[in-house]
Copies of this chain bind each other. A is one copy, B any other.
Amino acid sequence: MNIALITIGNELLSGFTVNTNAAWIGNHVLQVGGNIVWHQTIGDNKDEIHASLNQVSSDIRAVIITGGLGPTHDDLTAIALYEYTGDLPVFDEDYWQFLQKRLDKRNLNLPEINRNQALKPKKGHCIPNPLGSARGLHFKMNDKEIFVLPGVPREMKAMMNSTVLPWIEEQSTGGMTITTIRTTGIMESGLAEKLGEIVNALSDNIKIAFLPQFTGVDIRVSGMDKTAVKQKVDEICIQVKKYIYGQNTDRLEDIISQMLIAKDLSISTAESCTGGLVGHRLTNVPGSSDYFLGGIISYSNYVKENNLGVAKSTLEQYGAVSAETAIEMAENVRLKLGSDLGLSVTGIAGPGGGTSEKPVGLTFIALTDGNNTRVKEFRFLSDRQLNKNASSQTALNMVRLYLLNE
Contact = CB atoms under 8 A, between A and B. Distances in A.
* Residue among A26, A274, A294 facing the most chain B CB atoms (10 A cut-off): A294
A283 B276 contact: yes
A303 to B, nearest CB: 4
A24 B15 contact: yes
Interface string A273-304: 11111111011101111001111111110110
Contacts of A288: 275, 299
A190 B37 CA distance: 44
A279 B286 contact: no
Nearest to A29: B15
A220 B14 CA distance: 13
A51 interface: yes
A98 interface: no
Q: Is the contact region of chain A dominated by helix, strand, or loop, or is it mixed? A: mixed
Interface string A1-18: 000000000001111111
A320 to B, nearest CB: 10
Contact of A43 (B23, B37, B297): B37
Contacts of A211: 16
A333 to B, nearest CB: 9
Contacts of A12: 22-23, 26, 39
Interface residues of A, number: 75
B283 A293 contact: no
A386 to B, nearest CB: 12
Nearest to A292: B299
Interface of A: 12-20, 22-28, 30, 35-43, 48, 51, 55, 57, 209, 211, 220, 268-269, 271, 273-280, 282-284, 286-289, 292-300, 302-303, 306-307, 336-338, 349-353, 384-385, 388
28 contacts: A12-B22, A12-B26, A13-B36, A14-B27, A15-B22, A15-B27, A15-B28, A16-B26, A16-B27, A18-B19, A18-B23, A37-B43, A38-B41, A274-B283, A275-B276, A275-B288, A276-B278, A276-B280, A276-B283, A276-B295, A280-B280, A283-B349, A286-B384, A293-B299, A294-B300, A295-B299, A296-B307, A306-B337
